[in-house]
C-alpha cells in the first residue's frame, strides 16, 4: 500500500500496522482506522489490568497522534503561567475503567506538597490535571494544552517540571528513531478513544523548544518510561552516559536549554504501584514514593545520590520480599532511570 504525502506529494509506502507516519519532508500523516489497529505490548502496574487496557484500546478505532506544537494557549487555560518556577502535574486514575489505578491522586498531591513545602514553588505556578472536581481531567486534549501552558513565553532562568503518574505503553517505531524499535507513550484518561501521547510528541513539544538558560525536569512514573522524552543520553548503572541518539539522525535535543528526565523504569520494564514502601501503607507509585522521600530527607542530594537512593530503597523492599507485592511475586522489578539532553556531572546538587 502507498499514498501521496499531502504536503510534498511524495509517494510513501505505508507500514501495515501504523497509525502515524512521518514523511521525509517532516509532515506527520495520521493513518488510523478500524482496519489498521496498533499493536501494543502488554504491561502494567498490574498485568491483568493491562490486558484489559490493551484489549479495550485495540477495540477502538479513533487515534489522534499528531498534536499541534504551537505555544498559543486555547481557552482551556486562560491564565498564563508565572515566570521562574512552574510545574505541570498529571495523575490519571482511569477510575471508570477496569484497568484503573489506585495511587495516582495521592502521587500528584504528594508531588505538589514537595514542590510547595520543600522547593519553594507557589500554588499559582503549579497546574494539576486529575480526575477530581477541583481539577481539569487529564484527557489527551487537556494534557497537550497544559504542555503549551508549561512552555509559553520561556525566559532564561525558568525552571520547569513535568510530572506524570499513570499507565505507559510501547508501540512499534516506523521512523527509525528508536534503538530498540519501539516508541514509548503515556496514556491520558481517554487514550482508548483519542490515542496515546508518544515520546515523539513529548520531545517535539517539551524538549525541542527549550531555549538557553531554561531547564526542564520530567519525572515520569509509568511503565516503559525509560526514554519517554527521547533524550540523546541515558545514564547507566556503570555511572557513565550511554548514547541514545536515534539511528535516523533526527535531532532530539533542545534549542539551547537543558532537559533532564527521571523515569520509573527501563523501556522494557513495568512500574509498580504498591503500599509496601509507605509506613502508612498508602498506595503510591514506587518511583514517586522513593523520589519524594529522597528529597525530603536530604535537600542537598546530588543527581547521583537521588538515583542511588531510589535504587537502594527498591532493592531493600525486594530483599525483604514483602508479601504486599503480589502482582510482582514479592519483587519490584524496575530500575529508575536518568536521561538528559546533554551529558553533565551527576555529582552536582539536584535542583528544581
| Active-site residue set | 167, 223
Half-sphere exposure (Cβ direction) of 178: Cα atoms closer than 13 Å: 23
CA pair distance 45, 227, nearest whole angstrom = 18
SS3 26: coil
Q: Which of 343, 43, 332 is nearest to 185 (CA)?
A: 43
Q: Compute the distance between CA of residue 31 and CA of residue 201 in angstroms, rounded to an integer.
A: 16
> Which residues have CB under 8 Å from 281's CB, separation 6+?
275, 324
- DSSP H helical segments within the chain, as ranges? 47-59, 104-118, 140-151, 191-194, 199-202, 286-297, 303-320
Grid coordinates of 222: 509509568
CB atoms inside a 10 Å sphere around CB 268: 13
Amino acid at each position: 500500500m502507498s499514498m501521496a504525502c499531502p504536503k510534498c506529494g511524495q509517494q510513501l509506502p505505508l507500514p501495515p500496522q501504523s497509525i502515524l507516519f512521518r514523511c521525509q519532508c517532516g509532515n506527520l500523516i495520521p493513518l488510523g482506522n478500524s482496519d489498521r489497529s496498533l499493536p501494543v505490548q502488554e504491561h502494567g502496574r498490574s498485568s491483568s489490568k493491562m490486558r484489559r487496557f490493551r484489549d479495550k484500546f485495540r477495540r477502538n478505532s479513533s487515534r489522534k497522534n499528531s498534536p499541534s506544537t504551537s505555544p498559543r494557549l486555547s481557552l482551556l487555560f486562560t491564565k498564563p503561567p508565572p515566570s521562574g518556577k512552574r510545574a505541570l502535574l498529571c495523575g490519571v486514575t482511569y477510575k471508570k475503567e477496569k484497568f484503573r489505578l489506585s495511587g495516582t491522586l495521592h502521587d500528584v498531591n504528594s508531588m505538589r506538597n514537595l514542590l510547595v513545602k520543600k522547593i519553594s514553588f507557589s500554588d499559582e505556578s503549579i497546574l494539576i490535571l486529575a480526575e477530581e472536581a477541583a481539577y481539569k481531567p487529564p484527557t489527551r486534549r487537556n494534557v497537550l494544552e497544559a504542555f503549551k501552558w508549561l512552555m509559553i513565553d520561556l525566559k532564561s532562568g525558568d525552571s520547569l517540571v513535568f510530572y506524570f503518574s499513570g499507565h505507559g505503553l510501547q508501540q512499534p517505531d516506523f521512523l527509525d528513531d528508536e534503538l530498540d524499535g519501539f516508541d514509548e507513550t503515556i496514556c491520558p484518561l481517554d487514550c482508548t478513544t483519542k490515542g496515546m501521547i508518544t515520546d515523539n510528541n513529548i520531545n517535539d513539544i517539551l524538549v525541542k523548544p527549550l531555549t538557553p538558560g531554561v531547564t526542564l525536569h520530567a519525572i515520569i512514573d509509568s511503565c516503559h518510561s525509560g526514554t519517554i522524552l527521547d533524550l540523546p543520553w541515558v545514564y547507566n548503572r556503570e555511572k557513565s552516559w550511554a548514547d541514545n541518539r536515534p539511528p535516523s539522525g533526527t535531532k532530539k535535543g533542545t534549542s539551547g536549554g537543558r532537559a533532564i528526565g527521571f523515569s520509573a523504569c527501563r523501556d522494557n520494564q513495568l512500574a509498580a504501584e504498591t503500599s509496601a514502601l509507605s509506613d502508612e501503607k498508602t498506595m503510591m507509585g514506587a518511583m514517586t514514593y522513593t523520589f519524594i522521600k529522597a528529597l525530603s530527607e536530604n535537600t542537598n542530594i546530588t543527581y547521583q545520590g537521588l538515583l542511588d537512593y531510589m535504587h537502594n530503597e527498591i532493592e531493600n523492599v525486594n530483599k525483604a520480599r514483602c508479601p504486599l507485592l503480589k502482582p510482582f511475586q514479592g519483587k519490584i522489578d524496575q530500575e529508575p532511570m536518568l536521561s538528559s539532553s546533554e551529558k553533565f556531572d551527576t555529582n552536582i546538587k539536584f535542583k528544581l
